[in-house]
Structure 1
Amino acid sequence: MLGEVIVIGDLKLRDGASGDEYDRLGERMYGIVSGLPGFLSVKSFKADDGEEITVFRFASEQALEGWRTHPDHVEAMKRGHAEFYASGFLQICKVIREVGPFEHG
């Protein structure tokens, strides 16, 4: 969908970070973001070399901004940097062209 915003995240956990606590926080954040207007989806993919990429889709920049500035998400981001993440990056991309969907029968 033109105007859609894609966020690609590659966040690596620190050695010794609590995976259980990280998962609980992630579930809580998903519960919030999935109820926000303009949130479309989130999926994670893990490569054979262990790298994990998460792809968030939002209907617009305004929808993404609503998530980026949500008070609970702001606190979770601070906690992520303080407790969980060793390194990583986010890329925020705007859809400029879409081809498909395709169906072959």
Structure 2
Amino acid sequence: MISDVIVVGDLKLRDDADMDSYGQLGERMYSIVSKLPGFLSVKSFRAEDGEEITVFRFASEEALEAWRTHPDHVETMKRGHAEFYGSGFLQICRVIREVGPFKHN
């Protein structure tokens, strides 16, 4: 039974965002989330038009909830909305089917 949870984030930075502070916070958050049980991965992708999508993978809803409610993450989310992000959205998705992995020689 698959129980993975995927979070897709499309958060747009403000033009005046302090990128040094943003990068430091991102590194700090990754150092925390990567140690939590049930965290699987995070990857970001940037399109030619500048849109950036970030995909988080967690092993379960409980693992995601532990991250969502982690005190440092809660404070960082507040700071993100106040200082860095102009707009965006998150989509929380349950994996209903998984095919693969594929291996080609």
- Work out whether the TM-score is over 0.5: yes
**TM-superposed deviation, 1:34:** 0.3
Partner SS, residue 15 of structure 2 = coil
Amino acid at match of 2:11: L
Provide the identity percentage.
80
Query: Which residue number in structure 2 is paired with residue 4 of structure 1?
Result: 4
Partner SS, residue 101 of structure 1 = coil
Structure 1 residue runs of 4+, over 2 Å off?
A: none
Where does the alignment leave 5 or more consecutive residues of structure 1 unmatched? none
**TM-superposed deviation, 1:51:** 0.4
**TM-superposed deviation, 1:17:** 0.8
Aligned partners of 1:82 and 1:54: how far apart in 2?
A: 20
Partner SS, residue 42 of structure 1 = strand
Amino acid at match of 1:63: A
Aligned residue pairs: how many?
A: 105
Aligned partners of 1:31 and 1:103: how far apart in 2?
A: 31
Residue deviations 1:2-38 (CA, integer Å, cap 9, x gap): 1100000000111111011000000000000000000
Work out whether 1:44 is the aligned partner of 2:67: no
Work out whether 1:60 is the aligned partner of 2:60: yes
**TM-superposed deviation, 1:69:** 0.1
**TM-superposed deviation, 1:64:** 0.1
Query: Which residue number in structure 2 is paired with residue 83 of structure 1?
Result: 83
Where does the alignment leave 5 or more consecutive residues of structure 2 unmatched? none
Query: Which residue number in structure 1 is paired with residue 30 of structure 2?
Result: 30
Amino acid at match of 1:38: G
Aligned partners of 2:39 and 2:61: how far apart in 1?
A: 11
Q: Give the alignment's TM-score, normalised by structure 1.
A: 0.98
**TM-superposed deviation, 1:104:** 1.7
Partner SS, residue 37 of structure 2 = coil
Aligned partners of 1:57 and 1:75: how far apart in 2?
A: 21
Name the Cα RMSD after superposition: 0.9
Partner SS, residue 54 of structure 2 = strand
Query: Which residue number in structure 2 is paired with residue 94 of structure 1?
Result: 94
